[in-house]
């Protein structure tokens, strides 16, 4: 009997309307468009504004687009996994808030916190629920409102991040050889030293001191993150290719986490992978953390052909990293 795979039957994406350009940032911190462009490749990012709008707002938009494209009702969703580090609240989870807001009465869900690798963790987990035959319609969303945890006085971080999200509907395959084929996911908790938020968790609950010390924002030591990101993504891609008896020439698209254009270029160069087959939208959206990978697929979907072999790769806080191999089915 052939193995059931999870295939992607609809893609959704959402970015807020408000644009924060490098020139806007020049007025906020000691930086220049030239520095940001050459060091990161980012020209602008989107910022979610408006009373009561948070990560679930973007997740709802993503799910609504998915339901519309697939022509199904919210009641048909079995499960929703939301990858995010900027959930609406510490608890309850944002997946449940999204399900409530879209009116999905028959589903359950939960959040995955794996920072920029969150979408790969969610995609892999969601696929397993399909492969096991447990569920028939699983939505995986990656969304982050990074503007809620970025210090707009810190020029080393505020230039990088933006808000946005995307997602996939996963369903059981009807044809063999398509869908999510394999993933390699990794973690090294010692990396938390370089990328974290100091306060707001049980280690250091919110207090007037934590607020005064600006500890509710992203802390990042960029250089070690940069190095670990390149080696982590390259090594998991190589292992994934070998495990699936593929060579780099077999791959039609590389979808890298959009953290820094120099990281993306280094990964492509180390793999000898042609740049024109690398999905890029960092110049427009910056790093949307769990949102970057589905947002890339959302934007490039009309260029994908049935049978295209795609590798998604990510690295993020934790440290967490990994790569997923999928064959496009639509």
Ligand X SMILES: CC(C)(COP(=O)(O)OP(=O)(O)OC[C@H]1O[C@@H](n2cnc3c(N)ncnc32)[C@H](O)[C@@H]1OP(=O)(O)O)[C@@H](O)C(=O)NCCC(=O)NCCS
What does the alpha-carbon distance between residue 77 and residue 64 come to, in Å, rounded to a whole number? 12
Cβ 1 to ligand X shortest distance, Å: 40
| Residue 11 or 229 with smaller CB distance to ligand X | 229
Q: How far apart are CA 113 and CA 149, in angstroms?
A: 15
Active site residue 158: no
Cβ burial, residue 74 (10 Å; 0-12/13-18/19+): middle
Interaction pattern, residues 132-171, with ligand X; x per rule: CB under 6 A: -----------------------xx--x------------
Is residue 82 annotated as part of the catalytic site, yes or no?
A: no
Cβ–Cβ under 8 Å, residues 63 and 141: yes
User: Which of residues 99, 102, 259, 312 is near ligand X by CB under 6 A?
Assistant: 259
Nearer to ligand X, 76 or 226 (CB): 226
Among 77, 85, 116, 120, binds ligand X (CB under 6 A): 116
59 vs 232, beta carbon nearer ligand X: 232
The backbone torsions φ and ψ at residue 266, rounded to the nearest 5 degrees and listed phi first, read: -60, -40
**210 binds ligand X, rule: CB under 6 A:** no
SS3 for 244?
coil
Q: 285: part of which helix (H) or strand (E)?
A: helix 282-285
HEC per residue, 139-151: EEEEEEEHHHCCC
Closest residue (Cβ) to ligand X?
222
Contact 66, 10 (CB under 8 A): yes
| Burial state string for 254-274 with b = 16 or more CB within 10 A and e = fewer than 16 | bbbbbbbbebbbbbbeebebe
* 260 binding ligand X? (CB under 6 A): yes
CB 222 within 8 A of CB 311: no
Length of the chain, in residues: 330
Binding-site member from 190, 212, 223, 249 for ligand X (CB under 6 A): 223
Cβ proximity to ligand X, 66 vs 290, nearer residue: 290
Question: Which of 41, 59, 294, 316 forms a contact with ligand X (CB under 6 A)?
Answer: 316
Tokens representing 152? Answer: 């707009």
Q: Compare residues 136 and 155 and give the one whose CB is closer to ligand X.
A: 155
Comparison of 80 and 229: residue with beta carbon closer to ligand X: 229
Helix (H) or strand (E) holding 187: strand 179-187
Among 19, 26, 33, 35, binds ligand X (CB under 6 A): 35
| Residue 116 annotated as catalytic | yes
Q: Would you count residue 320 as binding ligand X (CB under 6 A)?
A: no
Q: How far apart are CA 327 and CA 313, in angstroms?
A: 15
Does residue 31 interact with ligand X by CB under 6 A? yes
In angstroms, what is the minimal distance from the CB of 84 to ligand X? Answer: 15
CB proximity list for 128: less than 8 A, separation 6 or greater: none
- 300 binds ligand X per the rule CB under 6 A: no
Among 43, 152, 222, 265, binds ligand X (CB under 6 A): 222
Q: Which residues bind ligand X (CB under 6 A)?
A: 31, 35-36, 39-40, 116, 155-156, 159, 195, 220, 222-223, 225-226, 229, 259-260, 263, 287, 315-316
Which positions are annotated as active-site residues?
116, 257, 287
């Amino acid at each position: 009997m052939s193995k059931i795979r999870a295939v992607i039957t609809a893609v959704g994406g959402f970015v807020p309307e408000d644009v924060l350009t490098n020139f806007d940032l020049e007025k906020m911190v000691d930086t220049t468009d030239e520095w940001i462009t050459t060091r990161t490749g980012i020209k602008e990012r989107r910022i979610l504004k408006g009373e009561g709008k948070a990560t679930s707002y973007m997740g709802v938009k993503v799910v609504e687009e998915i339901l519309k494209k697939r022509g199904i009702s919210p009641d048909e969703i079995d499960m929703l996994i939301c990858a995010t580090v900027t959930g609406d609240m510490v608890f309850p989870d944002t997946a449940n808030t999204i399900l409530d807001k879209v009116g999905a009465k028959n589903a359950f869900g939960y959040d995955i916190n794996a920072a920029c690798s969150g979408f790969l963790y969610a995609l892999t987990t969601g696929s397993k629920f399909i492969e096991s035959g447990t569920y028939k319609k699983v939505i995986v969303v990656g969304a982050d409102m990074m503007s809620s945890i970025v210090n707009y006085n810190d020029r080393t971080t505020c230039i990088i991040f933006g808000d946005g999200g995307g997602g996939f509907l996963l369903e059981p395959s009807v044809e063999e050889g398509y869908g999510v084929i394999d993933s390699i996911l990794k973690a090294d908790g010692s990396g938390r030293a370089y990328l974290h938020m100091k306060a707001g968790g049980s280690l250091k609950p919110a207090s007037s001191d934590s607020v005064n010390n600006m500890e509710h924002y992203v802390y990042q030591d960029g250089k070690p993150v940069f190095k670990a990101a390149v080696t982590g993504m390259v090594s998991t891609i190589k292992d994934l290719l070998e495990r699936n008896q593929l060579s780099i020439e077999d791959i039609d698209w590389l979808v890298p986490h959009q953290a820094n254009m120099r990281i993306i270029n280094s990964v492509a160069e180390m793999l000898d992978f042609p740049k024109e087959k690398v999905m890029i939208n960092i110049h427009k959206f910056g790093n949307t953390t769990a949102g970057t990978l589905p947002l890339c697929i959302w934007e490039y979907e009309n260029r994908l052909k049935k049978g295209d072999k795609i590798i998604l790769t990510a690295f993020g806080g934790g440290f967490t990293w990994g790569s997923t191999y999928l064959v496009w089915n639509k």
